[in-house]
Structure 1
Amino acid sequence: MKRVMLAWLVTAVFAGEALAVEVMHWERRPLAIPLPVDEERIVTLDRNVRVGLPPALANPEVLRVQSAGGVLYLKAFETFETQRVRVQDVESGDVLLLDLSAGEGVSSEEILVVDSRESSPASSSSGSGGAKTVSTPPSSAQASGTAAQRASTTPVPVLLTRHAAQSLYAPQRTIEPLRGVSRVPMRLPESLSTLLPSLPVTATPLGAWRLDGWMVTAVKLENNDRRRAFELDPRWLQGDFYSATFMHPYLAPRGSVEDTTTVFLVTRRGGLDRALIPLEEADDAEEGAS
């Protein structure tokens, strides 16, 4: 089996306009975030994270969590009491704690989490009365500057994955510009039978983008089993990838709303067509796993 470097990074990146943003300052104390029922609430962290859910919230019928390039999309489907959620920065390993609860009549206003260690004196003074302040969104010039600063320090695979996710699923006006990126031909068959040979999944390539010698390919995954759901683990992928990023952490049984997701595969020195394991090797690997 060829090497696969695991990365839990971006899943999809969407940006939205809002009239106001609630700012919460992370000061090593858990942040209390109430969620409305049946309505999504966005929490911007500006860092790639992985989310650890307690057993009470691990059921997708209770809470849906999507991590998207530093943004959490949280949607509660029923009310629940306060539960502590562990959020870890993928790159630094830092841990942030969220106390989530859900109830009727709760605001769905977007939340921006600011690390107090990194905030400027001006921004700190705006929150002198407590842990939360309300501010208006940055101007387009400020947003461009922030995006450029982030791009200068963010690894290319992360930038590419985020751009691909935005290109496929975000409104055109919200896609962050990424200098030098280009969409390229995939040179792939309509279905990638060797990508996940051990699972009853159909893998369909959607698009590919290149930047600075790196390439990311988006592949749609569809569960063909009407009875079973699957947790998605990059270790099940067969191929020579730098990183693999799933939009959702699992696939629900076929016929349900969540039976389809997308995986973003980053490769170097060639596209996905050169990174996939030949059919014969994939068959051998599947037999060995069984």
Structure 2
Amino acid sequence: MRFWIVLLMSLCSLSSQATTPPTDRVMAWEGLPLPITLAVGKETLITFDSDVRVGVPSGLYSQARIDALRGTVYITANSAFESQRLQVERLRDGLRMLIDIRAQEGITHQKYIDIVTADEKAALESAKATQKKQAKHVEALRMPIPALLVRYAYQNLYSPHHAIEPLPGVSRIAMQLDKDIQAQAFPLWPVTATPVAAWFMGDYTVTAITLTHKNTDTMTLDPRQVTADAYAVSFAFPDMGPAMTDSAMNTAFIVTKGPLADRLPPRFEEITP
């Protein structure tokens, strides 16, 4: 019999990782002039989603070189100058955007800047979120099936519905177990063991079992003491507190090849001499 413990905290951390903040390279036109600071003597490329033309104040030509080619505006400041306003027109629909540029010595050079409309920004953020979700899903599928099943069962019991990550290929299965399987699976522990739900994927089944401590001490859970013919045993928490306290309840996750009912020792009354 092989036992190993799935570390639930690390498995479930995938669903709680913070998203990466957006880069400063992308700026959204929302009706307010967009401020851009240039580094003197270094070219900056400002790109749009389609062809544009640029209205430049006449006094700015002596301070900067400005060229527009299709959907990109190329700007190189010759010297430092205070804010000057460019008017950019998108040719496909006549949308006008305002950009306030200035130049300073000794600042960090940002070579590329993308300007999008509010709708395009929302679409871009949606696309990035989809890509992250897909990448996370691909990464998750690299995990062993038993670990995936335990994480899925844990989320179903402890996470809000919207936080449950989909797991293609998993299905719920009837348990066909007694209301209390303490004598068969946890005979060394003073607990009641109530099966809650089971899911299968491929050759493996995970069964979630609610454990309720009966004694007044604190008990550390050892998966090696579980008597099921299990591929893996894990617990929501590493120990159980005294009876009648909040910590007296725990959840065991038993992964077996096939249903758990086929991997338990026979009940006492089924043992024949």
Please classify the TM superposition score into its range, dividing by the shorter chain length. 0.5 to 0.7
Report what 2:266 is aligned to: 278
Choose 1 or 2 for highest CA Rg: 2
Shift of residue 159 of structure 1?
Answer: 0.6
Partner of 2:122: none
- The structure carrying a bigger helix percent of its residues is 2
CA contact (8 A) 1:217 1:264 kept: yes
5 Å-filtered alignment, 1:155-174, equals: 155-174=144-163
The alignment's TM-score, normalised by the length of structure 1, stands at: 0.51
Residues 140 and 175 of structure 1: is their aligned pair in 2 closer, same or farther, counting only changes over 3 Å?
farther
**Which residue in 1 is equivalent to 2:244?**
255
Q: Which residue of 1 aligns with 2:194?
A: 204
1:145-178 CA-to-partner distances (Å, cap 9, x unmatched) read 2222213311000111101111111111111111
Answer yes or no: is the 8 Å Cα contact 2:205–2:256 preserved in 1.
yes
The 5 A counterparts of 1:46-61 are none
* Counterpart in the other structure of 1:55: none
**What is the RMSD of the two structures over their aligned residues, measured on CA atoms?**
2.8
Contact residue 239 and residue 276 of structure 1 kept, 8 A: yes
Contact 2:6-2:147 at 8 Å conserved across structures? no
List, as ranges, runs of 4+ consecutive aligned residues in structure 1 with deviation greater than 6 Å: 17-21
Per-residue deviation, 1:221: 0.6
Q: Give the match's secondary structure for 2:132.
A: helix
After TM superposition, give the deviation of residue 13 of structure 1 in Å: 3.5
Q: Is the 8 A contact 1:229 1:251 kept in 2?
A: yes
Q: How many residues align?
A: 164
Residue of structure 1 in register with 2:4 after alignment: 6
Q: Deviations over 1:93-144 (max 9, x none)?
A: xxxxxxxxxxxxxxxxxxxxxxxxxxxxxxxxxxxxxxxxxxx9x9531332
Q: Given residue 216 of structure 1, which amino acid in structure 2 is its aligned partner?
A: V
Residues 228-254 of structure 1: CA distance to partner in whole angstroms, max 9, x if unpaired?
110000011011000001110100000
What runs of 5+ residues in structure 1 fail to find an aligned partner? 22-135, 284-290
Distance in 2, Cα, partners of 1:262 & 1:238: 16
**Does the 8 Å CA contact 1:166/1:175 hold for their aligned counterparts?**
yes
Query: Which 5+ residue runs of structure 2 have no aligned equivalent?
Result: 22-124
Q: After the TM superposition, which residues 262-273 of structure 1 pair with which residues of structure 2 at under 5 Å, given as runs?
A: 262-268=251-257, 270-273=258-261
SS of the residue corresponding to residue 258 of structure 1 reads helix
Change (3 A) 1:154 1:282: farther
